[in-house]
Amino acid sequence: MSIDISRYSCQIALPGFSEESQQLLSHARVLIVGAGGLGCPAGQYLTSSGVGTIGIADYDVVSVSNLHRQVLYNPDDIGKSKVDIICERLQKQNPDIKLVPHTEKITSHNVLNIIQQYDIIIDGSDNFETRYLLNDACVMTGKPLVYGAIYQFEGQVAVWNVVYDEDSRSPNYRDLFPQVDATQIPNCTEGGVIPTLAGIVGCMQANEVIKYITKTGELLVGRILIFDAQSMQSRIIKIGSTSKTPVRGLSKTVEIPAVSVHELKERIADDSIELVDVRTEQERYAFDIGGIHIPLDELEGYLAYFTDPKPKVLYCATGKRSDEAVKLILKKIPGANVFSLTGGLKAYLEE
């Protein structure tokens, strides 16, 4: 890959940085998992700095509630694939790099094949299932993982699983959090998040990636940085120099009860199911396929409805939010007769 030296002249002029450092960036392959609040700023700065290949993995579409912190999207993008939009816009930002879209959901079945293609992984996910899956897959494949998390006014950044030699490596996510009960921790929709925090933490993640690739600076290895956006103070907590938590396999991705578009159409015809739209009011107003409307962020207030034995199929734009809704219902009401529409309205309209 040829490098436009004038484009990167300001970073090449840095002490300890050089054209050789820029060459390292141009040959690097970075995967960003999650094209949301963290993935947008991380993607922008890795693109502008000249990372040669950037993969973006996300299977969601843009919703109106994303816009306050996911700064690469605008209202015209609502309902469209995040990965398609972010790849298009980052490619315009830097035509000389390669953007690789991954629109499938990251699961225990495909995660190893996907991350094997990259040198370093950024965790910009918004759920614990994906977070642990990425951690374990990176440990198994020897890939470093740049962790970022945001909630309300607090952000966290760390670099996990840097390999020292055949027998030792830096701590991974399970060294700090062996297990987390995700049902006890609200997400951004429930607990809120200040939008600027996403930009700050996403940029920190990009910074750690650049440092790792160019072998400059001191990585957040064996340590976790905690940042408070209200006080503008940060602290670094030491975890240890090496990992003491072995990972011997991947936990299976939770299987969500689901129905295909074909099956749904058959069951609608014989009136054997009820439809539940979990999208936002704006999306519902634009288009729907019937059923009642219970937005995902209001679902817990309507749990009694799901105790009825008649099967209920939840749907959204792509299936991501309906999957989360079904998981939430089954945690609260084990045995509830609920299903997620595979592929959501996107698949429904395509078929």
Question: What residues are annotated to the active site?
Answer: 188, 316
Q: Pairing mode, if any, of strands 145-151 and 154-160?
A: antiparallel
Q: Report the candidate in 72, 85, 180 with the shortest Cα–Cα distance to residue 127.
A: 180
Dig out the tokens for 107 from the structure.
């699961």
Mapped onto helix, strand or coil, the DSSP state of residue 212 is helix
Mapped onto helix, strand or coil, the DSSP state of residue 18 is coil
The residue type at 124: G
What b/e string do you get for 59-69 counting C-beta neighbours within 10 Å, with b at 16 or more?
A: bbbbbebbeeb
Q: What are phi and psi of 63, to 5 degrees?
A: -125, 160
d(C-alpha 84, C-alpha 319), whole Å: 17
**Which pairs count as long-range contacts for 127-133, CB under 8 Å and 24+ apart, including other chains?**
127/182, 127/187, 127/324, 128/180, 128/182, 128/185, 129/182, 129/253, 129/254, 130/33, 130/34, 130/106, 131/173, 132/173, 132/174, 132/251, 133/106, 133/107, 133/108, 133/250, 133/251, 133/253
Q: Pairing mode, if any, of strands 145-151 and 120-123?
A: parallel
Cβ-in-10-Å burial (0-12, 13-18, 19+) of 176 comes to middle
d(C-alpha 85, C-alpha 108), whole Å: 26
